[in-house]
């Protein structure tokens, strides 16, 4: 395996993945200490928001943004919640591992082309591994960001989420936008051809002489 190509292909996505994982795990640990535990740092009052916890919520902006500690034992948006626990968690862990393997394969296939798509895959990779760490170590995923709309005789709540979920959603949106174009470009290259730089004049002369 070409080590130079390996480094060139994975350097940027893996660096972005690392940033997402660190940020995701740090904010989840913060949520546990600040929101979940009685007597935690912000359990009585979130200093910079000046808002006490009400029914397990810290109201940052009352009408649309709260912080709320939650433990999600299902997939994103509470999907698969009806599946028995003994089967659901191994299934989710297996799916996450397969997704990570699929993203790594896709990155290798793309090479160093399509930087925006590689950013998107790095986001998905970091988000998937961030939640996978929770499932393996805790048996559930920690969520704490609560977006909703209340007022004007209406109430709408988005499922509570975390940094890893945000990375997956943003990465997925970029894939929808740029993924098709990247695949079309890759498919347009005939087998045995690549989009590398053409040979120099000296290399062309040498090849012609032989």
Catalytic residue among 24, 134, 143, 146: 143
User: What's the whole-model pTM score?
Assistant: 0.77
Check if the beta carbon of residue 147 is closer than 8 Å to that of residue 65: yes
Handedness of CA 13, 18, 24, 27 (dihedral sign): negative
**3-class DSSP state for residue 27?**
helix
Percent of the chain scoring above 90 in pLDDT: 41
Catalytic residue among 165, 194, 195, 202: 165
Joined together, the tokens standing for residue 172 give 């997925």
pLDDT tier for residue 33 given thresholds of 50, 70 and 90: confident
Active site residue 143: yes
Average pLDDT taken over every residue of the chain: 79
Rounded Cα gap, residues 65 and 62, in angstroms: 6
Q: Which of the pair, 190 or 6, is modelled with greater confidence?
A: 6
Q: Which of the pair, 115 or 60, is modelled with greater confidence?
A: 115
Q: Are strands 65-72 and 141-151 parallel, antiparallel or unpaired?
A: antiparallel
Q: What is the pLDDT of residues 90-139, one digit of tens each?
A: 999 999 999 999 999 999 998 888 899 999 999 999 999 999 999 999 99
Active site residue 55: no
């Amino acid at each position: 395996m070409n080590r130079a190509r390996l480094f060139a292909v994975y350097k940027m996505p893996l660096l972005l993945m690392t940033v997402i994982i660190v940020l995701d795990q740090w904010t989840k640990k913060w949520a546990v200490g600040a929101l979940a535990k009685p007597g935690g740092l912000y359990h009585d009052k979130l200093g910079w928001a000046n808002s006490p916890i009400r029914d397990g919520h810290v109201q940052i902006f009352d009408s649309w943004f709260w912080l709320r500690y939650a433990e999600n034992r299902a997939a994103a948006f509470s999907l698969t919640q009806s599946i028995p626990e003994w089967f659901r968690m191994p299934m989710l862990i297996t799916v996450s591992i397969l997704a990570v393997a699929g993203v790594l394969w896709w990155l290798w296939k793309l090479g160093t082309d399509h930087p925006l798509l590689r950013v998107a895959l790095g986001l998905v990779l970091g988000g998937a591994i961030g939640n996978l760490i929770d499932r393996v170590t805790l048996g559930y995923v920690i969520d704490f960001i609560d977006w909703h709309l209340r007022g004007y005789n209406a109430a709408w709540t988005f499922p509570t989420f975390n940094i890893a979920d945000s990375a997956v959603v943003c990465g997925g949106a970029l894939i929808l936008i740029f993924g098709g174009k990247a695949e079309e470009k890759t498919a347009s290259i005939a087998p045995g051809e690549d989009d590398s730089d053409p040979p120099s004049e000296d290399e062309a002369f040498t090849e012609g002489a032989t």
